[in-house]
Structure 1
């Protein structure tokens, strides 16, 4: 399920921006990007996300900016500067240049002058940063819940259509079973002609053959799965993976019924029912 949220928190020296984004994913996949100076806080931040998000890929971006009143430290590496000077002086003499080595040419070399903000107190920062993550997740979850209401309506609509098809299939199956017995009886009589055989045994064999096309059990399990699906859909907890499993089970029952029944009208209903269940399965991928 998709979602987006941002928040801003700060302490006396720094401001911290938190941005959270989520997209569909079968499991909970959390990815955190933050400045190197505070990456020691990644584990507690990730724990906060996993405690509140059960399913989906969540990308969390954290930026850190010094406030205007924060004093910037200026450090110089005199040892490195001396090394540059000696090297430049050696080159100047070897190549016969008269111009002296300037201070500017030394200071512009990397590592000579370093600007740094005050050291971050990670122990004190954790609580502040966690509150910022919660703020971003509040907005993200609110957006996901709004999307979830629309998903619930669409899935409920598809379930109603599937339940209607199951009822149609159930009625067709009863007629198919009776017709198959009649056709088998007529076919046996045509084959036997005047030959006399045990009518009880023949009737038993015909019944066994007809039972192979009986889908009563599949219909019963489909109704149970659909009822269970509806009940789980309104539960106030993470049910996405369980609903995904139920759609797989419903699809398996429909495939079995289709392979057994062997009637053109019933097969048409089976095809439509498979299409509806696949649409439900696609929507379930968005459910946490």
Structure 2
């Protein structure tokens, strides 16, 4: 589902901002954008998101800025020495001033390091910040889910009407078919065998009978409404139901011996496809 949420908090010496974006996806696909200093929190962030969201392409971005310009910096001395040694070797092949300053060195990944104990407090603060953003994101997704649920219910109601039309139409279809075949045989055969004709008509009626398909469609429609009322992720179950409903609608169309029944089958498949597209957005 499409949704956005953001939260910001002061954690230790940092002001950290968290942004969550969610777009439609069949599975749960989590993408993280973290600065190097906060990379240690990646595993916990993924676990927290996957525990709350079961479907959608989720993008989580964290960024920070320092609250105190006067604060002291701790750095990885070995990393600095290694970096400067490498640049000194490269500078032999270069003319002009040095390519970067001490401030540039501090910006390199792995140079700055947290003060003792700061990582634990950062992790706790990030967990709380992410939880707050996730709550807002879930609320936004639920709001969209309610709207999508109503759209699906509306289409289910339209499908119920089509199924009832098909059930009411079927006896007339068989009657017209019987009359058509009887008249045709009378034209072709001087003395038709009406007993044999009756047997053939019974067999034909059995082949064209769609009562079971219509009953299953009705059951599937009822199941859609029941699933939508549940307070849990339902997207994949609805996906499966759409496949089953489409199969029944296709069978209805293939057995059709009447223009109106063919039209009902097409209308059913259009509604099923519309529902299927919306269900891709439902967790």
Residue in structure 2 matched with residue 96 of structure 1 by the alignment:
none
SS in 1 for 2:63: strand
Structure showing greater Rg: 1
Moved over 6 A (4+): none
2:217 pairs with 1:250: no
SS in 2 for 1:57: strand
CA contact (8 A) 2:12 2:122 kept: no
SS in 2 for 1:119: coil
2:200 pairs with 1:205: yes
CA shift for structure 1 position 213: 1.4
CA shift for structure 1 position 7: 1.0
CA–CA distance in structure 2, aligned partners of residues 80 and 246 of structure 1: 63
Unaligned runs of 5+ in 2: none
CA shift for structure 1 position 34: 0.3
Residue in structure 1 matched with residue 184 of structure 2 by the alignment:
187
Residue in structure 1 matched with residue 130 of structure 2 by the alignment:
133
CA change 1:175–1:149 in 2 (3 A) is same
Q: How many correspondences in the alignment?
A: 269
CA shift for structure 1 position 143: 1.0
- CA deviations 1:144-193 (Å, max 9, x no partner) are 11111211221111111111111111111121122222322333343332
SS in 2 for 1:20: strand
SS in 2 for 1:212: helix
2:221 pairs with 1:220: no
Residue in structure 2 matched with residue 70 of structure 1 by the alignment:
71
CA–CA distance in structure 1, aligned partners of residues 12 and 223 of structure 2: 54
TM-score of the superposed pair, with normalisation by structure 2:
0.85
How do residues 115-130 of structure 1 correspond to structure 2 at under 5 angstroms?
A: 115=106, 119=114, 121-130=118-127
CA contact (8 A) 2:24 2:281 kept: yes
